[in-house]
């Protein structure tokens, strides 16, 4: 079974041109099949504020009304995605940018929450694995933004960590998948203010304990929930940490296991 690397980069890398350039250089050196998934960074928030919209967040997740959807599509699928693709081409990686609507690659449904109206936010239902497999085997590196669709003409803002996780699960049927979450920290930390407190290995038992102790909280919980869901559904390996680990195996990071 061919190996496949799925890398998700967080917004703080996108917001820092120097970090982004270094990340894309490192990403381009990864051998074999690879997929990149990117979040949106602060650009969408800045753009929204510049035209008088007030961004709303609940539990770290963006409320996406119709005007905000216009902004995130423009920034995620447009500005950020195309700049990343152009920089990858400059690094010799034949990248193609995608939203979930392109080629019907990621189909979602609008989130139906009992008490919160998230607006135009999508929950992934299906990944077009055969088309992705064809693209990868043709030497294409897909670059996904955090936008999917519902098959009825509606675009949906969709959590990038979840997109990476769902792609990894779907593609683990045809590839040996390593899923890597790259962000500005060196890994999952015991103490969020101490970068030297990396938890180098987390299994489900330890995760449950750390959540109960509130050592792991807020935005890290949905990220790790996604990780354990992916592992339980066939993804071989998951790593979380700074993008330096992509080209240097000795860089300390967090490995997730069941």
Question: What are 235's two structure tokens?
Answer: 């993804």
The predicted pLDDT at position 79 comes to 96
pLDDT of residue 173: 95
Percent of the chain with pLDDT over 90: 83
Mean pLDDT for all residues in the chain: 94
**Cβ neighbours of 92 (radius 10 Å):** 8
Q: Looking at residues 6-26, what average pLDDT do you find?
A: 94
Residue among 144, 152, 194 nearest 170 (CA):
144
Residue 28 CA to residue 87 CA, distance in Å, equals: 10
Segment 228-245 shows an average pLDDT of 94
pTM of the model: 0.95
**Quick one: pLDDT at residue 60?**
67
Summarize pLDDT for 102-133 with one digit per residue, the tens: 999 999 999 999 999 999 999 999 999 999 99
């Amino acid at each position: 079974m061919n190996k496949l690397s799925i890398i998700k980069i967080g917004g703080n890398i996108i917001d820092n041109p120097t970090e982004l350039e270094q990340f894309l250089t490192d990403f381009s050196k990864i051998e074999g099949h690879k997929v990149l998934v990117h979040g949106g960074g602060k650009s969408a928030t800045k753009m929204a504020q510049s035209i008088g919209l007030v961004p709303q967040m609940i539990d770290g997740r963006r409320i996406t009304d119709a005007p905000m959807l216009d902004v995130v599509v423009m920034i995620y699928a447009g500005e950020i995605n195309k700049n990343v693709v152009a920089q990858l081409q400059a690094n010799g990686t034949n990248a193609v940018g995608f939203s979930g609507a392109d080629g019907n690659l990621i189909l979602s449904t609008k989130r139906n929450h009992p008490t919160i109206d998230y607006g135009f936010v999508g929950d992934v239902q299906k990944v077009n694995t055969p088309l992705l497999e064809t693209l990868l085997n043709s030497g294409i590196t897909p670059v996904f933004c955090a936008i999917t669709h519902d098959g009825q003409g509606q675009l949906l803002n969709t959590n990038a960590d979840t997109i990476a996780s769902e792609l990894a699960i779907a593609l683990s049927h045809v590839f040996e998948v390593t899923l890597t979450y790259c962000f500005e920290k060196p890994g999952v930390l015991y103490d969020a203010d101490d970068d030297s407190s990396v938890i180098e290995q987390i299994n489900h038992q330890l995760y449950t304990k750390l959540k109960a102790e509130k050592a792991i909280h807020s935005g890290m919980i949905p990220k790790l929930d996604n990780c354990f869901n992916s592992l339980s559904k066939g993804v071989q390996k998951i790593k979380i940490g700074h993008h330096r680990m992509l080209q240097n195996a000795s860089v300390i990071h967090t490995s997730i296991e069941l």
